[in-house]
Chains A and B, each alone.
Chain A
Amino acid sequence: MVRFENVGMRYGMGPEILRDVSFHLEPGSLHFLTGPSGAGKTSLLKLMFLAHKPSRGLISMFGHDVATTSRAELPGLRRRIGVVFQEFRLLEHLTTYENVALPLKVTGRNESEYRDDVEELLTWVGLGDRMQARPSTLSGGEQQRAAIARAVVGRPALLLADEPTGNVDPEMGQRLLRLFIELNRLGTSVLIATHDRALVDASHAPELIIQNGELTYRD
């Protein structure tokens, strides 16, 4: 599903942030991406959700070599990837419902086709009574759940979560972890970037450890 071979990445003419990164994610797998702050976790995720191009190496997403994939094909690949951003990135001028429905709206589908699904999902993550609220009026936990709902509403094949428990208390962190595990059981491949050891230890999932731009694997 996701294959990295000797991938290197740098911003502009700066030093290499990632060096010779190689790994493979199978369909339906659950992994953690760990490492100290500034080690390159977010940079690696940027490569995976196609927000950045590698400076060298091969990246294959769903069987497509990213380097040779045309711009016109990229939106189709991105729709197969759900992303939970560290800072949520909910659009402030839209309601919670509109934010969560965004990945479906951009496909050009009629709202009547997905309204029930979105409302059901929002109810499932506990935001059924907050659908018309703006993100700024939501608590940190509510924003986190709205961001997760947006990431999974399109039933992506791959879910990438960047520090999904960074802004919530430990109890909420555990609830979110159970949500990710549930999604994984339903067939979605999940990669969670975190430095929350409690979260990693609680799941017993394999770890990708990134340190000084280099990746190691711990089963």
Chain B
Amino acid sequence: MTDADTSDKVSLSPVSNWMALIVGRTPRSGIMPPADVTGATLVLVIAAMSYLACLAFGAMVTVTRSANDWTAQLEGSLTIQVKPHAEIATEDQISAALAVLDDVEGIERASALSEEDIRALLDPWLGETTESEDLPLPSLIDVELSPGANVDMSRLAERLAAAAPGIELDTHRQWLSELLAAARSAVWLSIGILTLITLTTVAIVVFATRASLAANHESVEVLHLVGAPDEFVANEVQRHFLQLGLRGGASGLAAAILTFLAITWLGSEGGAFLLPVPGLMLSDYPWLLLVPASVALTTTLAARMTVLRVLGRMI
């Protein structure tokens, strides 16, 4: 057996094998020394960052879509509440309200809910109990507006109140505006988290690149002295970090997809930690690919800029 044969034999422990698998250690991956355990650690850190970024991004997509759905559903509808009143029968109150609505332009449909419908609305909150039959419940009129209708809501509320006592118009607008404000806050929070993750990733990669250059100072200096331009060294280093970024990003994405699938499954089982959001839809998943792509790009650029800055200080 020649020395060359023995030199190519590498004895790895199970842990080293595992690390080598993660960082994709290959004997001739480039001119710079192959990734070591530091590279594996960096892959794990990038995977964690990518996972958190996927969660924040997924939450942003879900909340934005839910807010749009709520807006679309509620903007075209009104509810009129008819409270029991001592001076007038409920049927007369409903008739008076329907008469007013019939007179208003832009209303597509208006119909009073049956008592069964109203109790069905309460079932999720009170359960299927006969005790609710004794409760004095207001009657409800469901109103559907024509698409693009411009109804003067304050005028309509005044006319309904004047038609009979105990009639109130609920436009859902206050509830909707509060819900949308909460959704907007959640989106901004997600953007803030994504920004923090990006900055943290950049800081970690800059630190790792500097450490890598310090550890491989001999290789960098020899490359320098045999006439390698800065671009050549930067390309070698950035290729190494691109590989780490892609591996970390893909690992984080895989973990995030499993998490979203679990949330969707828990949601369908009715136990999603009281989350009002339905989880990601199938059409949302391709957007998550943006996260590992951005992570890999950020990692590569941060490494490249760091190398060029460090080399710039050498003669």
Contacts and interface: CB of A to CB of B under 8 A. Distances in A.
Interface in A31-72: 49-53, 71-72
Given A91-B218, A98-B28, A105-B31, A49 B225 contact: yes
A136 interface: yes
Interface string B1-33: 011101110000000000000000001100101
Contacts of A76: 227
A102 B31 contact: yes
Given A51-B315, A91-B219, A93-B33, A106 B4 contact: no
B166 interface: no
The binding surface of chain A is classed by DSSP as: loop
Q: Is the interface of B mostly helix, strand, loop or mixed?
A: helix
B228 interface: yes
A93 B221 CA distance: 15
B7 A150 contact: no
B106 interface: no
A78 interface: yes
A106 B30 CA distance: 12
Nearest to A53: B315
Given A98-B28, A102-B222, A106-B232, A50 B4 contact: no
A89 interface: yes
Nearest to B230: A71
Interface residues of B, number: 26
A136 B8 CA distance: 11
A52 B221 CA distance: 12
Contacts of B8: 132, 134
Nearest to A139: B3
Contacts of A150: 226
A106 B226 contact: yes
A21 interface: no
Contact of A52 (B28, B229, B312, B315): B315
A105 B235 CA distance: 13
B76 interface: no
Contacts of B224: 78
A107 interface: yes
Interface in B228-264: 228-230, 232
Contacts of A103: 226-227
Given A83-B225, A130-B4, A132-B4, A94 B31 contact: yes
Question: Looking at chain A, what size class is its interface with the partner chain?
Answer: 35 or more
Interface in B143-176: none
Contact of A133 (B4, B33, B34): B4
B128 to A, nearest CB: 72
A21 B135 CA distance: 107
A151 to B, nearest CB: 9
Nearest to A108: B232
Nearest to A96: B4
A40 B2 CA distance: 41
Interface string A138-153: 1000000000001000
A6 interface: no
A204 B228 CA distance: 36
A75 B229 contact: yes
30 contacts: A49-B225, A50-B225, A51-B315, A72-B229, A75-B227, A78-B226, A78-B227, A79-B226, A79-B227, A83-B226, A89-B222, A91-B33, A91-B218, A91-B219, A91-B222, A93-B33, A93-B34, A94-B28, A98-B28, A102-B222, A103-B227, A106-B223, A106-B226, A106-B228, A132-B8, A133-B2, A136-B7, A137-B4, A138-B3, A150-B226
Interface of A: 49-53, 71-72, 74-76, 78-79, 83, 89, 91, 93-95, 98, 102-103, 105-108, 129-130, 132-134, 136-138, 150, 154
